[in-house]
């Protein structure tokens, strides 16, 4: 069996590495704001440079990709990689179309969507509390969208739809990942990144006129940064930390990403959700956290009994 991502992280530094990983993920939206390239090209660069950087990490750590594990999960891996690519495509399109803070919050509808679809795809029981929290998260989206104040989504409709679609495809990837069997994190992440890059390359070949683009040094440098730091390195730290952290710690620390993403958009970009928007953001994040905490509490009680 190949070494896993946990080799880079130890029990003593797992929490710090998770905080670092979530903080790195939280900067993606703001960095994207300063890249003067179409969303699809940014995603393509992220996938390509992320895949290359991850291969380098695998080599430097003395690890190996397992062909047996990869081929044994090939169909599910490819499907989840396609979902990852579409998640990125719609998320970065949302970043380019609406405020970073709104796009970030829309993408974080994923936990609520997972709650709604797991009874269908994973045969898990949907409790009344979980259903209520999921519906509350959707209500939070209504508040963030501004439709209650304006009576319509207006010019933000395209970006908000992209943000919600990003959450939908991330939800699909989460469900597919739960169906993977006996595969290391390096194997899973590399194939998903590579598949995402290939899918977006095909999309860009059809839709993008590369000759008309201005590949300035700053934009290219930031795309490489997204691939190396925000993808390969951050994923390595994230999955490595999960191997050592208990569920409560992982859940709570996971909320650093959206909270930091929103705060950075306010501090650096001067965005303002408005009172109703802030309430909506809090409702979405809070309603997606509560079911996780309830599940953790339930497991703890079961262990004690």
Q: How confident is the model at residue 2 (pLDDT cuts 50, 70, 90)?
A: very low
Residue linked to tokens 């719609």:
90
Q: What is the pLDDT of residues 8-34, one digit of tens each?
A: 777 888 899 999 999 999 999 999 999
pLDDT at 1 over 60: no
> What's the rounded mean pLDDT across residues 201-212?
94
Task: Quote the tokens at residue 80.
Answer: 């989840």
Domain residue ranges in the chain:
8-304
Query: Quick check: 164 and 141 in contact, CB under 8 A?
Result: yes
Higher pLDDT, 235 or 294: 235
CA atoms of 61 and 126, how far apart (whole Å): 42
Q: How confident is the model at residue 150 (pLDDT cuts 50, 70, 90)?
A: low
- pLDDT of 6 reads 47
Higher pLDDT, 247 or 242: 242
For the chain, the C-alpha Rg in angstroms (whole number) is 19
CA atoms of 65 and 93, how far apart (whole Å): 32
- pLDDT of 7 reads 57
Residue 157: strand, helix, or coil: helix
> What's the rounded mean pLDDT across residues 166-180?
93
Mean pLDDT of the chain: 88
Q: How confident is the model at residue 37 (pLDDT cuts 50, 70, 90)?
A: very high
CA atoms of 102 and 76, how far apart (whole Å): 31
Higher pLDDT, 215 or 240: 215
Residue 283: strand, helix, or coil: helix
> Highest mean pLDDT: which of 51-60, 139-148, 245-254?
51-60
pLDDT at 259 over 60: yes
- pLDDT of 154 reads 58
Comparing 60-74, 91-105, 145-159, 255-269, the range with the smallest average pLDDT is 145-159
Query: Which H, E and C letters describe 73-98, residue by residue?
Result: CHHHHHHHHHHHHHHHHHHHHHHHHC
């Amino acid at each position: 069996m190949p070494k896993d991502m946990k080799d880079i992280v130890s029990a003593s530094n797992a929490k710090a590495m998770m905080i670092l990983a979530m903080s790195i993920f939280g900067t993606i939206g703001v960095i994207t704001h300063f890249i003067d390239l179409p969303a699809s090209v940014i995603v393509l660069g992220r996938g390509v440079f992320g895949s290359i950087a991850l291969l380098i990490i695998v080599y430097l750590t003395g690890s190996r990709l397992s062909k047996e594990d990869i081929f044994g999960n090939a169909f599910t891996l490819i499907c989840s990689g396609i979902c990852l690519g579409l998640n990125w495509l719609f998320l970065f399109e949302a970043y380019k179309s609406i405020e970073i803070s709104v796009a970030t919050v829309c993408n974080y509808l994923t936990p609520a969507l997972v709650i709604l679809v797991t009874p269908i795809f994973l045969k898990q029981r949907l409790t009344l509390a979980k259903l209520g929290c999921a519906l509350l998260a959707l209500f939070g989206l209504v508040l963030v969208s501004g439709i209650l104040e304006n009576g319509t989504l207006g010019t933000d409709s395209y970006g908000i739809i992209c943000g919600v679609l990003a959450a939908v495809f991330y939800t699909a990837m989460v469900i597919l990942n739960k169906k993977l069997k006996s595969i290391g994190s390096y194997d899973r992440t590399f194939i998903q990144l590579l598949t995402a890059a290939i899918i977006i390359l095909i999309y860009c070949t059809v839709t993008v006129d590369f000759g008309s683009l201005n590949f300035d040094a700053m934009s290219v440098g930031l795309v490489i940064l997204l691939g190396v730091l925000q993808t390969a390195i951050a994923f390595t730290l994230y999955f490595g930390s999960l191997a050592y952290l208990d569920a409560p710690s992982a859940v709570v620390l996971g909320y650093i990403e959206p909270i930091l993403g929103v705060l950075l958009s306010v501090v650096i970009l001067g965005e303002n959700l408005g009172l109703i928007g802030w309430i909506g953001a809090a409702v979405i994040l809070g309603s997606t956290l509560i079911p996780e905490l309830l599940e953790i509490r339930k497991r703890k009680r079961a262990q004690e009994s």
